[in-house]
Amino acid sequence: MLKELKKIQKEALSGLNKAEVLAEIEKIRVEYLGRKGRLTEILKSLRKLPSGQKAQVGKLANDIKNKLMGEIENRLKKIESRPREECVDITLPGIVAAHGNKHPVTRTIDEICDIFVSLGLNVVEGPEAERERYNFEALNIPLEHPSRDAFDTFYIKDDLLLRSHTSPVQIRVMEKEEPPVAVIVPGKVYRPDAVDATHSFMFHQVEGLVIDKNITFSDLKGTLSFFANRMFGDSVKVRFRPHFFPFTEPSADLDISCIICGGKGCRVCSRTGWLEVMGAGMVDPEVFKAVGYNYEKYSGFAFGMGVERIAMLKYGVNDIRLFFENDLRFLRQWR
Amino acid sequence: MLISYNWLKDFADIKITPEELAERLTMAGIEIGSIEKLKDDFIMDAEITPNRPDLLSMEGIAREAACLTESSFRELNAESCEAENSGESIEVKIQVPAKCLRYNATLIRDAKVKISDEKITRRLSTLGLRPVNNIVDITNYFLLASGQPLHAFDYDKIEGSTVVVRWAKKGESIAALDSREYKLDEDILVIADEKKPIAIAGIIGGIDTEIGYETKNVLLECAHFDPVVIRRAARRLGISTDSSYRFERGVCMETIPAVARKAALLIAQSAKGSIKGRRDIFEGRLKERSGKLRIDEISRILGFKISLDKVKRILTALGFEVTAAGERSLTFKIPFFRQDVSREIDIIEEVARVYGYDKMPTTLARISPKQIKKYRSSAGISEFRKYKIKKMARDILSDRGLNEVITYSMISEKSLSKFNYLPDEIVKVQKALSVEQEILRPTLIPGILNVLSWNLNRQVEDLMIFELGDVFLNKGGKFSEGAALAIGLSGSKFANDWRIKSKPFDFFDLKGIVENLFSRLGIKDIVFKRVDSGIFVKGRSAVVTMADKKLAVLGKVESAALDTFDIEDEVYAAEVYLEEVLLCVRLVDKVKPIPKFPAVTRDLAVIVKNDLSSSEIIKMIKKTGKGLIREVALFDVYSGKQIPTGYKSLAYSIKYQSEKTTLTDPEVDKVQTEIQKTLVNNLKAQMR
Ligand SMILES: [Zn+2]
């Protein structure tokens, strides 16, 4: 019997030590101390024992009972004082607030404008429906000359057209303000082009204009190089190539080393290693004349770039139509 | 334009490789797109800007190449350019002298038409021209070499042996060398004989006077035509030829006799004929042009100093003749072929171009701070503020979970069929590309519905989108353009929350987005009023006003309107009149002190008729609250069991707070009772 009791004590205590949750402790309590528990049964059967054994077995059984009760108490306290644990499947998805985003074109416009705003330029917008004088004549674009071929235009009525570039806003700004001016002009432009992977009858441009005393071609180079490196990365090489625009002279195209192949030559850069990203130049004296600025006193530069083209190069978009289809599976990729 | 590397060497002693030359030309403004090896030659594809017609020839490119590589250059017409009228007389009548300033004709008799010799054939085909016969090929050869278009007629087929330069007559037409028949009109200049047009001036010859193997006598034309006239005609007729391309941009009048002489000599030699007559009618005048360049102006525009000596070398190599050189300036004669140069800035550009943009310094422009006060719109707000608010609106909505879209400003007439626009309010685009783009949008909603439709049709669901852009309208005959913002919702919310059931978007989701937008733009005191208009479902649409200014409309879109866009799902849409909103925005608000005394909250539930609006109840509660009510919040709307039909139960939580003292329960109870009484008496409400 004593042996039996010792065995009970050993088993009960080791069971308790392993118990980690309340249910296990309760199970042990019921097993040993419950109404039909193993220890309870022994205590109940004490009466039947010979009196010689009764005292000895009775004492040991009661000691074990007390000890067990005490241990149960301790164990309960220990478990309860432990940090709580609630088991969940932590691999279930978190509840993410539905987040939207800005259109990649807007995003690119913001990127461009932010760089120039950081240099002190002001954002100015102008109307999309424009008068001929602002879209052409004041910009020194003659009515009938091959240089106008690049500016085919949608007309709304006589002397009202959809601007074919953002340059008219230059004229609007200069007509209204005396120098110095420094503006950056984002906006939509329209050209009746047949739509394909690289052409759209509506697209976006960002135009810039800086006029003051002593603004030089070197300033144009420096300012636009700063932009190109901010926009496309420090490692990008920049070059300026002479070009022709009716409203600037000298004029330049700005090329960056191809961001696809790193300048080695690929399909995107037509094997040249260079990508044309914007046109620029010193504002033509004819434009100054049109807005009544004094060319002998002031000088300035202007530049313009196609937003979709830049976004296509920067984000590897191969078809301009994607921007205007607005398939959410495309748009949602701009986080 | 294609360039032959070997042909250039006729004119210039180029010692660098084709690749190096291409790089130099590109960096001087003649962009070479590609180089291709063709037998022992290299063919470069050059982009010639429209201001430089003088580069539309091998001679012109070679002059530039010689200048850039500092090598020697030989002109095509080294001999005299003297015009000559001699030999057999040739009848030339110029009826429109203002549009044909020079007409040179040479008569070559007894020519034998045959295949050209190998050199000419090779050079033409190298540059993409199909060899025809020795006469035609020589005219093309000189076009490529000198940039001067020439044309050869079969003299015996010119009726009356008379050449007339005149406007075409109405109803006239011509069968041209490209086998097409062109209908002419009075704006088109032609070369005619006594009876009919034999060529469209400066563009293409007629088939009747074509040089064939039976041709014996050749009339060689070398002329100058007005660029605008040629351009108009070419566009009208839908044709562009090597000749018209050059005339449109302007060819040099000065060298006409010399080119004609050279070409005629070569024809006579090749065809074993003899030159029997020359005629040169010159109605224009060759004006010697000169210019002056100040050294200080170079540094003012370019931002660095360059020696006069260097400038002199550049200009001389480009064909300018420096006539005087002072301390700080020089004067020079401008060559005839450089029609693009007349001003000092033109010369500065030449200097910059040849000097090399790469070698110039780079500096950052100094921006004057004076500008911050500039650029105000007519409404008085600054352009920068306008841009900032638009940017904010985009940020607010995209943070709120909406995706921005950009749709075309031109829409179809059909897409507006369910909107209430009057026909003369709509702005149309002339010569629209298609019926899908006939109208300049008066509203952004069709664009929004198009995007929803596109996505729903591709199983992209649960859409929240917005667009910000300009809309166009004729208001009372006056055209106007202004910014607007539209929102569209379709599908369900909570779609990505697996703990709760997703719920379809409803009016209050949309209203919440609009309220959010206004409150974050600092626009308070807006009122939502019921409105039954246009494309919205009756009873589920509202107009947002502030002090009688209409700021937005919103609602559930009518299914009839959705049908036009092939949408079966429910759609909620809003349009915000941004031009009005821009004027109401308050970006800065002074902060209010945190209340010093505690607030007491009491609930209030009322049963009212269905048609009584909650906003009226709240208004009444606040009015009765004697300035002690800080906030009234609706927390339950119920109708059904225990509520009579036609009635609804509304429950509010009223927060009482005083700025001066701690409110006691009896004080609050008193006000609350009064509110209850007022609601019962004035709004026939029943307390719950
Ligand atoms: Zn590349």
From chain A residues 65-84, the ones with a CB under 8 A of any chain B CB are none
Calpha distance B1→B126 (Å, rounded): 12
- The per-residue pLDDT for range A284-335, each reduced to its tens digit, is 999 999 999 999 999 999 999 999 999 999 999 999 999 999 999 999 998 7
Residue A89 vs residue A134, higher pLDDT: A134
CB contact under 8 A, A144 and B27: no
Q: Which residues of B touch A332 (CB under 8 A)?
A: 403
The pLDDT of residue B116 is above 90: yes
pLDDT of res. B287: 85
pLDDT of res. A149: 66
Calpha distance B295→B313 (Å, rounded): 14
> What is the number of other CB atoms lying within 10 angstroms of the CB of residue B322?
16
pLDDT of res. B162: 93
Determine the distance in angstroms separating the CA of A75 from the nearest CA of chain B, rounded to an integer: 36
Distance A275 CA to ligand 1 centre (A): 8
Q: Can you list the domains of chain B with their CATH numbers? A: 2-69 (3.30.56.10), 86-282 (3.50.40.10), 289-357 (3.30.56.10), 383-584 (3.30.930.10), 600-687 (3.30.70.380)
In angstroms, the Cα distances linking A109 to A280, A302, B401, B616 are: 18, 17, 21, 45
Confidence band, pLDDT 50/70/90 cuts, at residue B78:
low
CB B54 within 8 A of CB A268: no
Calpha distance B353→B364 (Å, rounded): 21
DSSP of B89-147:
--EEEES-TTT--EEEEEEEES----PPPHHHHHHHHHTTPPP--HHHHHHHHHHHHHS
Distance A256 CA to ligand 1 centre (A): 10
Q: Check if A52 contacts B (Cβ < 8 Å).
A: no
Omega before A180 within 30 of 0, i.e. cis: yes
- The per-residue pLDDT for range A177-226, each reduced to its tens digit, is 999 999 999 999 999 988 999 999 999 999 999 999 999 999 999 999 99
pLDDT of res. B375: 85
Q: Is A115 exposed, middle or buried (0-12, 13-18, 19+ CB in 10 A)?
A: middle
pLDDT of res. B300: 96
- The per-residue pLDDT for range B191-239, each reduced to its tens digit, is 999 999 999 999 999 999 999 999 999 999 999 999 999 999 999 999 9
**Lowest mean pLDDT: which of A77-86, A186-195, B396-405?**
A77-86
Calpha distance B487→B136 (Å, rounded): 66
Which backbone phi and psi does A198 adopt, to 5 degrees?
-120, 0
Q: Which of B363, B370, B499 sits opposite A219 (nearest CB)?
A: B363
CB contact under 8 A, B369 and A240: no
pLDDT of res. A329: 95
Residue A19 vs residue B133, higher pLDDT: B133
pLDDT of res. A147: 62
Per DSSP bridges, beta strands B439-440 and B427-428 are antiparallel
CB contact under 8 A, A146 and B498: no
Distance A265 CA to ligand 1 centre (A): 4
Residue A33 vs residue B351, higher pLDDT: B351
For residue A287, give the nearest of A190, A184, A181, A157 by alpha carbon: A181
Q: Which residues of A touch B364 (CB under 8 A)?
A: 119, 219, 222-223, 226
Q: Is the dihedral of CA A236, A241, A244, A249 positive or negative?
A: positive
Q: Check if A149 contacts B (Cβ < 8 Å).
A: yes
CB contact under 8 A, A210 and B249: no
For residue B129, give the nearest of B7, B23, B294 by alpha carbon: B7
Average pLDDT rounded to a whole number, residues B172-190: 95
For residue A117, give the nearest of B387, B380, B363 by alpha carbon: B387
pLDDT of res. B503: 94
The pLDDT of residue B497 is above 70: yes
pLDDT of res. B79: 63
Q: Is B523 exposed, middle or buried (0-12, 13-18, 19+ CB in 10 A)?
A: middle
pLDDT of res. B370: 83
Determine the distance in angstroms separating the CA of B660 from the nearest CA of chain A, rounded to an integer: 41
Q: Using only C-alpha atoms, what is the Rg of chain A?
A: 42
Residue A31 vs residue B79, higher pLDDT: A31
Q: Which of B28, B365, B498 sits opposite A215 (nearest CB)?
A: B365
Average pLDDT rounded to a whole number, residues B454-475: 95
pLDDT of res. A194: 87
Calpha distance B266→B226 (Å, rounded): 28
Calpha distance A197→B674 (Å, rounded): 71
Determine the distance in angstroms separating the CA of A21 from the nearest CA of chain B, rounded to an integer: 28
pLDDT of res. A99: 80
Determine the distance in angstroms separating the CA of B624 from the nearest CA of chain A, rounded to an integer: 40
pTM as predicted: 0.86
pLDDT of res. B80: 61
Angle at B411 between CA B408 and CA B414, to 5 degrees: 155
Distance A263 CA to ligand 1 centre (A): 6
Residue A221 vs residue A20, higher pLDDT: A221
Residues whose CB is less than 8 angstroms from the CB of residue B400 and which lie 6 or more positions away in sequence, other chains included: A100, B513, B516
CB contact under 8 A, B428 and A252: no
pLDDT of res. A20: 78
Q: Check if A333 contacts B (Cβ < 8 Å).
A: no
Confidence band, pLDDT 50/70/90 cuts, at residue B81:
low
Determine the straight-line distance between the first and last CA of chain A, rounded to whole angstroms. 76
Q: Which residues of A touch B31 (CB under 8 A)?
A: 241, 243, 253
In what order do the strands lie in the sheet containing B410-411? Answer: B410-411, B439-440, B427-428
CB contact under 8 A, B301 and A324: no
Q: Which residues of B touch A127 (CB under 8 A)?
A: 470, 481
In what order do the strands lie in the sheet containing B218-224? Answer: B86-87, B274-282, B102-109, B218-224, B150-154
**Whole-number average pLDDT of chain B:** 93
In angstroms, the Cα distances linking B678 to A5, B17, B90, B615 are: 81, 98, 111, 15
Q: Which residues surround ligand 1, an ion (CB under 5 A)?
A: A 258, 260-261, 266, 269
Which contiguous run of DSSP H or E holds residue A171?
helix A168-176
Say what percent of chain A tops pLDDT 70. 98
CB A79 within 8 A of CB A17: no
Say what percent of chain B tops pLDDT 90. 83
Residues whose CB is less than 8 angstroms from the CB of residue A296 and which lie 6 or more positions away in sequence, other chains included: none
- The per-residue pLDDT for range A136-182, each reduced to its tens digit, is 999 998 877 766 666 689 999 988 999 999 999 999 999 999 999 99
For residue A78, give the nearest of A70, A67, A86 by alpha carbon: A70
A296 → chain B, closest CA residue: B297
Q: Which of A192, A239, A285 sits opposite B433 (nearest CB)?
A: A192
CB contact under 8 A, B27 and A241: yes
Confidence band, pLDDT 50/70/90 cuts, at residue A28:
confident
